[in-house]
């Protein structure tokens, strides 16, 4: 921002009565301001600067899909418990693994005092939350059950996820957010993006809301400008205990605890310009694809891991621009780079 723009803003504020600066000024022959006896209130200046920064950030973000699960009552939430419809944008949200909705699929998003999720609506109803239960038994099916968020990011870049969770006393304490760049694959490759966990205590860790849990996926370029990505939030083993733990230390995990979700939101930082669109579409390419069990080439040297449709790592290489598929079985594979870019490879 130029000095003349800043001066204009300050002068406008001064004329409106804002006590940001106390100064006298005159015009010189070149029509420039000369300031004398300037006394700066730096606290107010910092407030203005922060406000401008946050305003610019808000302008740059687009909501691709949001679910607030609100309705006049639990039976009136659009889409119902099996397929709640987004309140903003477009997308699909569903249950995965053994998880299922509670007997009442939508529970209170706030208590009688208006305390609860980050939803700006502070009365219940209409502030409701999606209630999920029936998670895997102790010691089984780590990172397989929870919810899946399908969305499209065509012409957008810089993906982020934000959500609220309320964990009952018996609900698990650990959840992993995963992503895939191709949800249509027979067996999508799910990549761990972020883990949310805490040490269970006797009080204060269960039957409480964990709001605005945020996952920054802007570094995963494979999610940009993509019609078929997806995200998952799945129950996971506690990273220290190596098994599911209840959210409260005095409770025992058994899979029947209830997890409420609210304000599930997928955003993009900005739309792609024509130049950005061309750059993103060429970020990581594989050819020929499909491959007839031959050497395939990349458009740049990368560190790669290759997974089969079962998610098993079958090959790994550093700083390579080729991959020899002659020994691969016919099928679908996922190539993942160290930068998080992914490409589906078909071997005939």
What pairs with residue 88 in β-bridges?
Answer: 66
3 state SS of 347? strand
Q: Yes or no: say if 347 and 330 are a contact pair by the CB < 8 Å rule.
A: yes
Average pLDDT over residues 184-210: 96
Most confident of 45-59, 162-176, 180-194: 162-176
Q: What is the CA radius of gyration of the chain?
A: 26
For the stretch 60-90, pLDDT in tens is 689 999 999 999 999 999 999 999 999 999 9
Average pLDDT over residues 131-154: 97
Percentage of the residues of the chain whose pLDDT score is greater than 90: 62
Predicted local confidence at residue 284, as pLDDT = 84
Which has more pLDDT, 205 or 30?
205
Predicted local confidence at residue 222, as pLDDT = 92
Burial class, 323, CB count within 10 angstroms (exposed 0-12 / middle 13-18 / buried 19+): buried
Q: Flag whether pLDDT at 33 surpasses 90.
A: no
* pTM > 0.75: yes or no: no
Pick from 36-45, 55-64, 81-90, 95-104: least confident: 36-45
Q: Where does the pLDDT of residue 167 fall: very low under 50, low under 70, confident under 90, or very high at 90 and above?
A: very high
State how far the Cα of 282 lies from the Cα of 292, in Å rounded to an integer: 23
Average pLDDT over residues 36-60: 44
Predicted local confidence at residue 45, as pLDDT = 45
For the stretch 238-267, pLDDT in tens is 999 999 999 999 999 999 999 999 999 999
Which has more pLDDT, 60 or 99?
99
Averaged pLDDT score across all residues of the chain: 84
Predicted local confidence at residue 282, as pLDDT = 56
b vs e for 22-31, b when ≥16 Cβ sit within 10 Å of the residue's Cβ?
Answer: ebeeeeeeee
CA angle 308, 311, 315 (to 5 degrees): 50
Q: Flag whether pLDDT at 192 surpasses 70.
A: yes
Which has more pLDDT, 129 or 39?
129
Other Cβ atoms within 10 Å of 36 Cβ, number: 8
Predicted local confidence at residue 110, as pLDDT = 94
For the stretch 109-119, pLDDT in tens is 998 888 999 99
Q: Flag whether pLDDT at 50 surpasses 50.
A: no
């Amino acid at each position: 921002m130029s000095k003349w723009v800043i001066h204009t803003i300050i002068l406008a504020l001064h004329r409106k009565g804002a006590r940001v600066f106390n100064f006298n000024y005159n015009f010189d022959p070149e029509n420039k301001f000369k300031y004398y006896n300037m006394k700066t209130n730096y606290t107010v200046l910092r407030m203005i600067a922060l406000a401008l920064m946050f305003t610019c950030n808000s302008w740059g973000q687009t909501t691709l899909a949001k679910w607030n699960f609100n309705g006049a009552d639990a039976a009136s939430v659009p889409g119902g418990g099996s397929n709640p419809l987004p309140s903003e944008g477009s997308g699909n949200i569903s249950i995965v693994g053994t998880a299922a909705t509670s007997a009442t699929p939508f529970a209170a998003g706030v208590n009688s005092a208006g305390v609860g999720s980050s939803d700006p609506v502070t009365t219940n109803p209409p502030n409701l939350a999606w209630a999920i239960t029936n998670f895997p038994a102790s010691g089984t099916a780590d990172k397989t059950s929870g919810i899946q968020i399908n969305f499209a990011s065509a012409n957008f870049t810089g993906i982020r996820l934000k959500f609220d969770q309320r964990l009952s006393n018996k609900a698990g304490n650990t959840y992993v957010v995963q992503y895939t760049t191709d949800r249509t694959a027979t067996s999508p490759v799910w990549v761990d993006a972020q883990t949310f966990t805490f040490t269970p205590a006797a009080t204060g860790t269960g039957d409480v809301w964990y709001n605005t849990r945020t996952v920054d996926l802007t570094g995963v370029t494979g999610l940009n400008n993509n019609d078929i990505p997806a995200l998952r939030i799945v129950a996971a083993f506690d990273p220290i205990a190596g098994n599911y733990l209840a959210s409260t230390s005095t409770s025992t995990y058994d899979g029947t605890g209830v997890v409420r979700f609210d304000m599930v939101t997928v955003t993009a930082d900005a739309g792609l310009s024509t130049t950005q669109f061309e750059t993103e579409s060429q970020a990581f390419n594989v050819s020929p694809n499909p491959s007839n069990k031959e050497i395939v080439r990349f458009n740049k040297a990368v560190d790669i891991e290759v997974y089969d449709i079962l998610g098993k790592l079958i090959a790994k290489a550093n700083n390579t621009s080729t991959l020899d598929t002659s020994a691969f079985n016919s099928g679908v594979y996922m190539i993942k780079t160290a930068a998080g870019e992914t490409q589906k490879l078909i071997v005939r």
